[in-house]
Structure 1
């Protein structure tokens, strides 16, 4: 815990970015990461192995050339003898790219009679060179390995890289077995020939690896698309259920997803049956209570105080029953077209309030959805429009829109006297009894308030900017537009 608390800010940002929320993105990222990491590592390894192979092959090749030169070299009576023409023809062609040299320490060279006696900057004496080396500048220095040992390295001659294989040997004088002369035989070859092989191999290797990476990426993408296709279908079916276009998930899915689909279908069926039984029981309860209350209220000898209490009981029963019938977030899977409910109310209410002009200021589009129960939306719009018609002088307007930040927006405005600033706060306070509301904002507004709370929606009371009366504005957090 302490270590995570002291992580650098850039590391936290990187870790947050790596937490992909999409399963498809995670699988695709892991597959691409494997391709982009594993194949380049294989490429680098193969390229390095080929370079080592070419280097070893060059050393073996130069070693073979060196022993062919050494086989025809001899020292007799302090004189170095090397044939003018060697078996390997490239040693005989000027600047052929393959060269042979023989050098000796300065002290040893003084006792020798050689075709070439040329001092090098390193203090060595160059005794002989092949015909192929004619016209080239003598090297500044040549390797001098210990007697009987060889060396393989790179040197520069005339600003060109050469690979040189050197071997130090000792020749015993024929007339005296105790006397010997040490020389070093060198075979040089331009490094460009070997570098050309490496570059050609590297070019072909990376070309084919890039093609392989592209093919693997396409295969991985196609495979992931095919593998995740059932999830896309499952999501589509969930959307259909959520929008109320289907009641069950009916598709055939792989074993892992099929178990989830069965559980969801069981949950949906149980929820629908429970809600149906609950509403039927509430309807029966309402009928059982209201009928005796109606009989009591019809009694002629009922005192005014008793009649008032009976009316209050009747009002409380109506309020609590309607509040209990709200499905709210339990109906997460339902999607109701706002226009189906609002159009019906816009046709019905003018018959009840013929003196009020009820119209749309902004009509809902066909794809705007209320994610909840249809009866809840009817209760919300019905109560707010009914209150607005009661309070209005001539006009009531309804606006329905979708806000990308706040979700579905419903606005009911009238040209009445409005709601005072102090009363706006009072009637929206939690726990206010229904009978404390002013006329026109009684039990209906209490039901609206409770339904909004159950959907986590916001209810704001303001003054209408263009009608001058009250404006009731509701925001439902889930975007109220169906998928295309």
Structure 2
């Protein structure tokens, strides 16, 4: 039996659509996240610069009198003077003791611990203060001793600012970014849909023309195609022309052979001196020659076939075969779905179904059932009967020329051999099993397009 055809891979259209969706659903969100992150970094740098400026402002006001730090109670930036304003300042010594704090911290518990950078260094980071996230900017400085015996006065200035304003600004920016990204995504999808239609239009037209040639509606590919497809179309047209010429030459040669063989046989059959016993073999030889020549002209391997509807052929055989097998009350039921097509010669389809149904009628008691449908790109035909069935050891043997199943009382055992030849020609496959519905033999025939 021939191997089953492989399933095709994803189409070019599917691949391009998947690529476009990947671009929109992955790249644009990544751009949005990158912009949002860059905005937060820029805003954080701006906050650090503002806090650094505030720190220098406080540092400029600091003085030391009698080993004590002196700073004004109110500062120029009003936020330092309003309780719980979100902007706070304080000064600590190296031991962590609070030397001064702004008025905005009067009713709040002081944050602990606070960093103390190396002398002359600054430190910026985040901390949790009063249960909410805050930025903290620390800078260490000192007053040098006026005499060698006095100790230097070291301290650190801390600026603390809530992140609430930045978070609100960040949320507003992110909302706008995603709003415009979704609009951009919709515009890109529309542009990509138009671009996809325009790009794949020649391929769609190419496929339609191939289907028209395959179904016999036109002889060649006639449209103008882009350079990538033009050479393919040219080669296909050349292939079609060569195949048609070869088939015609082949048929002419076979026709000449038929005439050259039939004429001597006709002369032999007309000789009166030949005994009557020789007439029947001569007649059988002539019939076999006609049959085999007809079979040899089958175009099963041809490059192109017009689709032949299975239903009319099956209906014709269903009307004819019960008249041939009048010795039994025979019923042939048909179940044909989706109007399946056979891609080959009409005579080959008639011979294929005729032999299978005829053998089923010989074995059947009363019922024969024929089903046909399209399944996964192939033609599936099922022939069942209510006869005794075919033993497993006979299922391969009956396809050999001259062999028939014991349940078949008529025929010369060549019908199924012809079926096998046809299936091999059309790269089809078959299975024989027991019919679950009728109890007899069941022939499953698979024919790829």
TM-score range, shorter chain: 0.7 to 0.9
Shift of 1:324: 0.9
Q: Structure 2 length normalisation: TM-score? A: 0.79
In the aligned structure 1, how far is the partner of 2:153 from the partner of 2:66? 11
1:58 aligns with 2:47: yes
In the aligned structure 2, how far is the partner of 1:464 from the partner of 1:124? 92
Structure 1 runs not aligned, ≥5 long: 1-18, 106-122, 480-484
Shift of 1:336: 0.7
1:253 corresponds in structure 2 to 225
Structure 2 runs not aligned, ≥5 long: 1-7
Q: Note if contact 2:401-2:417 (Cα within 8 Å) is conserved in structure 1.
A: no
Aligned residues between the structures: 436
Closer, same or farther: CA 280–351 of 1 in aligned 2, 3 Å: farther
Shift of 1:173: 6.1
1:90 corresponds in structure 2 to 79
1:447 corresponds in structure 2 to 418
1:155 aligns with 2:127: yes
Shift of 1:301: 0.9
2:3 corresponds in structure 1 to none
In the aligned structure 2, how far is the partner of 1:62 from the partner of 1:88? 11
Shift of 1:64: 0.8
Q: Note if contact 1:92-1:131 (Cα within 8 Å) is conserved in structure 2.
A: yes
Q: Note if contact 2:144-2:153 (Cα within 8 Å) is conserved in structure 1.
A: yes
Instruction: Please point out which of 377, 398, 414 is paired with 1:428.
Output: 398
Q: Superposition pairs for residues 7-18 of structure 1, below 5 Å?
A: none
1:119 corresponds in structure 2 to none
Shift of 1:282: 1.6
Q: Note if contact 2:364-2:385 (Cα within 8 Å) is conserved in structure 1.
A: no
User: Could you report, residue by residue, the CA deviation over 1:4-38 in whole angstroms, capped at 9, with x for unpaired residues?
Assistant: xxxxxxxxxxxxxxx95322222222333334443
In the aligned structure 2, how far is the partner of 1:357 from the partner of 1:259? 60
Q: Superposition pairs for residues 32-43 of structure 1, below 5 Å?
A: 32-43=21-32
Instruction: Please point out which of 115, 126, 130 is paired with 1:143.
Output: 115
Instruction: Please point out which of 229, 236, 242 is paired with 1:270.
Output: 242
Q: Note if contact 1:358-1:396 (Cα within 8 Å) is conserved in structure 2.
A: yes
Q: Superposition pairs for residues 222-241 of structure 1, below 5 Å?
A: 222-241=194-213
Closer, same or farther: CA 476–94 of 1 in aligned 2, 3 Å: closer
Q: Superposition pairs for residues 218-367 of structure 1, below 5 Å?
A: 218-303=190-275, 306-307=278-279, 310-330=282-302, 332-342=304-314, 361-362=333-334, 364=336, 367=339
In the aligned structure 1, how far is the partner of 2:359 from the partner of 2:133? 97
Shift of 1:166: 2.2
In the aligned structure 1, how far is the partner of 2:368 from the partner of 2:225? 48
In the aligned structure 2, how far is the partner of 1:76 from the partner of 1:360? 120
In the aligned structure 2, how far is the partner of 1:188 from the partner of 1:400? 84
In the aligned structure 1, how far is the partner of 2:25 from the partner of 2:300? 49
Instruction: Please point out which of 137, 153, 168 is paired with 1:181.
Output: 153
User: Could you report, residue by residue, the CA deviation over 1:223-253 in whole angstroms, capped at 9, with x for unpaired residues?
Assistant: 2233223323322333333334443333333
